[in-house]
Amino acid sequence: MKPTSEPNRALQSGYAPGGDAQVIAHIAKARFGGFAPMFEHHGWPERGSDMMRKVQTRVAETYGTVKAFEEHFKGRNEP
Q: How confident is the model over 31-71, as pLDDT tens digits?
A: 999 999 999 999 999 999 999 999 999 999 999 999 999 99
Structural domain contains residue 26: yes
For residue 11, pLDDT over 90 is answered with no
Range of the domain at 30: 16-73
Number of structural domains (the chain) is 1
Q: Where residue 3 falls among pLDDT bands split at 50, 70, 90?
A: very low
Query: Which is more confidently placed, 32 or 79?
Result: 32
Averaged pLDDT, 5-27: 76
Query: Which is more confidently placed, 56 or 7?
Result: 56
Q: Please compute Rg for the chain using Cα positions.
A: 14
Which pTM does this prediction carry?
0.78
Structural domain contains residue 3: no
